[in-house]
Amino acid sequence: MTDVVSLAQALIRCPSVTPAEGGALALAGEYLSAAGFAVERVTFSAPGTPDVDNLYARYGSGAPCLMFAGHTDVVPPGDVSRWRHDPFAGRIVDGRLYGRGACDMKGGVAAMVTAAVDFVAARPAFAGSIAFLLTGDEEGPAVNGTVKLLEWAKARGEVLSHCILGEPTNPDRLGDMIKIGRRGSLTGRLTVTGKQGHVGYPHLARNPVPTLLRALSALIASPLDGGTAHFDPSNLEVTTIDIGNPATNVIPAAATAVFNIRFNDLWTLDSLKAEIADRLARARREGDAEVALAFDPSNAVAFLTDPGPFVTLVSEAVEAQTGRRPALSTTGGTSDARFIQAYCPVVEFGPVGGTMHQVDEFVAVDDLVALTAIYRAALERYFG
């Protein structure tokens, strides 16, 4: 199990800040290839976005196929002078492995690769197959990564049965939480167009601000829902209001606002958009400034993986190693699981995420070893 620590250190030393590959995918590919996996590197492009390197690997060709998924790209380290340890040195101090991506999610990648390599070495002729889907685009636009790699794999005839995504899911201790779904995300933009004028002559102008305030009040006046058995209530948050008027004696010509909704599986994107439009229509008054509503194209749907046999299998593997039965959760932001769920059932389980994206990000060395054992136990249970 010491191999997982060495691999995690080596991955951290690859400066793979999105969209740079930095050698991280090449390193993971070397480990998998040496173990007998068929490894392919695939690069995707799109106008206005950087090219992104990705990796797909598979051992075996039969069913069922358990896929491990993750990303090797990381967010920038920020002000390096604020780090106690070089963010790309992979230093171990007092039982902690420090570095950008230690918990999000090079530690998880190292654990799943080590577990799979150990498993196929011990059981090379197991019935079924293991796949890896690793992207370099999760922390960026998420355009040329997992979503396109899944399409590419499907076009090749790859059939995936279940997936474990190694995102950092545990809030405090390894074994606290498995994610079995995620809320959706919808971003809307309001643009209210009035008529600029002198504040002393309001009858010659049309102020967009009162209209915007009434519109926003209508959006937040009542809850969208009360939540479900597995999801928190949907919440709409106004994230910015912009008028851009430096003068104190001028009625502005326009005002804008942006809001984001994290919604549960009571809603689809279409039904939620219709609800927002209906609330705005009911709030409109005669003489109001013109309100334009637009939704961002990059949104995420809510999904839930049925808490059945596969979720139970992973939960039992976690409990056997940690002594804790993990809570089944749908909290947090979005992840690449939103793309994977369209191809196979997916659960998320990975390191403690308390320091992800922070200065001095770290993962406990003991947790890396335990996480590798959990993934290995999941493989043993999955393939009987």
Q: What is the pLDDT of residues 234-252, one digit of tens each?
A: 999 999 999 999 999 999 9
Distances (CA, A) of 368 to 205, 255, 325, 375, 376: 64, 50, 18, 11, 12
pLDDT category of residue 141 using cuts at 50, 70 and 90: confident
**Residue-wise pLDDT tens digits, 368-380:** 999 999 999 999 9
pTM over 0.85? The answer is yes
Torsion-angle region of residue 184: left (phi > 0), alpha (psi -120 to 50) or beta?
beta
- Please name which of 338, 335, 313 lies closest in space to residue 326, comparing C-alpha atoms: 313
pLDDT category of residue 299 using cuts at 50, 70 and 90: confident
Place of tokens 């779904």: 181
Which residues are tagged catalytic?
73, 138
Can you tell me whether residue 250 is helix, strand or coil?
Answer: strand
| pLDDT value of position 42 | 97
**Looking only at Cα atoms, what is the longest distance across the chain?**
84
CATH topology of domain 2-182+302-382: Aminopeptidase (3.40.630)
State how far the Cα of 371 lies from the Cα of 163, in Å rounded to an integer.
16
State how far the Cα of 276 lies from the Cα of 252, in Å rounded to an integer.
25
* Model confidence at 41: pLDDT above 60: yes
Q: Structure tokens of 326?
A: 């993990």
Place of tokens 């799979």: 116
Can you tell me whether residue 246 is helix, strand or coil?
Answer: coil
| pLDDT value of position 2 | 55
Eight-class DSSP state of 203: G
Q: What is the mean pLDDT of residues 355-374?
A: 97
Rounded to the nearest integer, the mean pLDDT of the chain is: 96
* Model confidence at 272: pLDDT above 80: yes
State how far the Cα of 189 lies from the Cα of 208, in Å rounded to an integer.
15
State how far the Cα of 253 lies from the Cα of 271, in Å rounded to an integer.
32
Least confident of 11-20, 50-59, 331-340: 331-340
* Model confidence at 343: pLDDT above 80: yes
* Model confidence at 70: pLDDT above 90: yes
**Residue-wise pLDDT tens digits, 167-203:** 999 999 999 999 999 999 999 999 999 999 999 999 9
Q: What is the mean pLDDT of residues 275-288?
A: 96
Q: How far is CA 273 from the centre of its chain?
A: 22
* Model confidence at 1: pLDDT above 90: no
C-beta separation of 55 from 40 below 8 A: yes
**Residue-wise pLDDT tens digits, 75-90:** 999 999 999 999 999 9
- Please name which of 196, 209, 203 lies closest in space to residue 291, comparing C-alpha atoms: 209
Q: What is the mean pLDDT of residues 57-76?
A: 97
- Please name which of 96, 78, 130 lies closest in space to residue 8, comparing C-alpha atoms: 96
Per DSSP, helices labelled H in 233-306 are 269-283
The CATH architecture assigned to 184-295 reads: 2-Layer Sandwich (3.30)
Domain extent listing, the chain: 2-182+302-382, 184-295
State how far the Cα of 383 lies from the Cα of 171, in Å rounded to an integer.
29
Strands 92-93 and 184-193 turn out to be unpaired
